[in-house]
Structure 1
């Protein structure tokens, strides 16, 4: 099935094409502290849209709800028919209003705002994709009583947890870079004020003291002692 999106200007001819479109967005948002695992976000987008990008860029079935505007939703909406399960009975062709967004990213970010409410605390605190899909169902995000199992099936059949692992690796690399920078900063701070004169600079320091150029030889930085040494070797002190 082909689905055309005016925003992206391309046809989503396969499930994999749809996944590849959503992956970088889901990963980026997770790195920016989104509570939603990339695997869950991608699976939910597939389940809610059938793997196609609708023209209103709402890939998560987010309805208008209370209608309160947000930084990512300015009131645009699209009316469509859907189905709901109420008290165990399925009702088809239920008219509903869905939020419409200028971009896919805006839709996902608006959903993240929704998940900040107390109703979705278990979704935010989930430690695994499976725990999160069950939390979505238990929190009433959808009326489908098989919502969690459908999401889990999509995650498994499409190997979506590899994108969760990708985020973990990226975070580990970032933490390693931060640790290296912190080590470097500590080293530079240590060089900024040495507790004693380096052995290689003692001759230059003695000459500078004798010449009356300095009176606190034990309170200099690495660069200070290096400069004195260069001047001393050039016979300037």
Structure 2
């Protein structure tokens, strides 16, 4: 991926951060955004590992299936910065990365991180629990939060309210090129997506006939709820020439 400005970087990863938070993650969005910038240097690589998670035991789960890359890294050992190489986990998307990271942070080792009541305290506990070896890790995270005004993401974080007609649905992420485009509503085996938000992100021209959404001029079976038109993800993908994969273990829609 091309080098991103800081605003572009946060705009790219914020939808995944907020989606995972709305699913119940205890991590403050502001801290998660800051940590991703600090760990990645503001670059989103094809392996989508924004937090330096190493292969470790190699035990797979719903969000990591064993893929890895070997990269250079550095750590503080006995007060010195030591450069080495390590195997890092590779992910299908940023969403998969954050979900896997939460599995790690939900272990007993990180109890104090989960109990922290502020982003600043959470940053301190990440270091205290051994997530990072750099003594300046908490202060670096706090500085990033302040510099880029990331606390605003904590203020807008709120549970997902299911729109009318989708009260019985499950909310699932819709992912393209590793990034979350938005949430879809899985109902009766079909995923319905907000046509304009997802379609325009993919370069489609979205219209409305008065009763149906149009994608590049073609009418689609639609559901109108709260002034938003929803279409089936496979219908929209078919018009645009994308493939659709359902990741059953992660419960996510992947557009290819």
Which category describes the TM-score, using the shorter chain as reference length?
0.5 to 0.7
1:29 corresponds to which of 20, 34, 48: 20
Q: Distance in 1 between matches of 2:10 and 2:46?
A: 17
Q: Higher Cα Rg: structure 1 or 2?
A: 1
Distance 1:163 1:12 in 2: 23
Q: Does 1:162 align with 2:152?
A: yes
What is aligned with 1:121? Answer: 111
Between Structure 1 and Structure 2, the one with more strand by share is 2
User: How far apart, CA to CA, are the structure 2 residues paired with 1:136 and 1:42?
Assistant: 14
Structure 2: how far apart are the matches of 1:132 and 1:69?
27
CA RMSD of aligned residues (A): 1.7
Matched, 1:140 2:130: yes
Equivalent-residue separation in structure 2 for 1:130 and 1:13 (angstroms): 26
TM-score (norm 2): 0.61
Cα separation, 1, equivalents of 2:153 and 2:101: 20
Unaligned runs of 5+ in 2: 164-256
Residue 79 of structure 1 aligns with which residue?
70
Give TM-score scaled by structure 1 length: 0.66
> How far does residue 27 in structure 1 lie from its aligned partner after superposition?
1.2
3-state DSSP class of the match of 2:56? coil
Structure 2 equivalent of residue 91 of structure 1: 82
Residue number among 70, 74, 87 corresponding to 2:61 in the alignment: 70
Please state whether the residue corresponding to 2:142 is helix, strand or coil: helix
**In 2, Cα distance between equivalents of 1:161 and 1:113:** 24
- Deviation, structure 1 residue 105: 0.5
Q: Is the Cα–Cα contact under 8 Å of residues 35 and 141 in structure 2 kept in the other structure? A: yes
2:9 is the counterpart of 1:18? yes
Query: What does the per-residue CA deviation read over 1:79-108, in whole Å, with 9 as the maximum and x for residues that have no partner?
Result: 01111101111112x111100001110011
Q: CA deviation at 1:12?
A: 4.3
Cα offset, 1:66, TM superposition: 1.5
Alpha-carbon distance in structure 2 between the residues aligned to 1:83 and 1:59:
15
Number of aligned positions between the proteins: 163
Where does residue 139 of structure 2 map in the other structure? 149
Checking the alignment, whether the CA contact within 8 Å between 2:4 and 2:42 is kept in structure 1 is: no
Runs of 4+ in 1 over 4 A off after TM superposition: none
**Partner-residue secondary structure (3-state), 1:19:** helix
Q: What is the CA deviation profile of residues 14-45 of structure 1, one whole-angstrom value per residue up to 9, with x for unaligned ones?
A: 11000011111111111111011101111011
Pair 1:55 & 2:41 matched: no
Alpha-carbon shift at residue 143 of structure 1 (Å): 1.0
Residue 116 of structure 1: how far off its partner (Å)? 1.0
Match of 2:74, SS state, is strand
Structure ranking higher in helix proportion: 1
Report how far residue 145 of structure 1 moved: 1.1
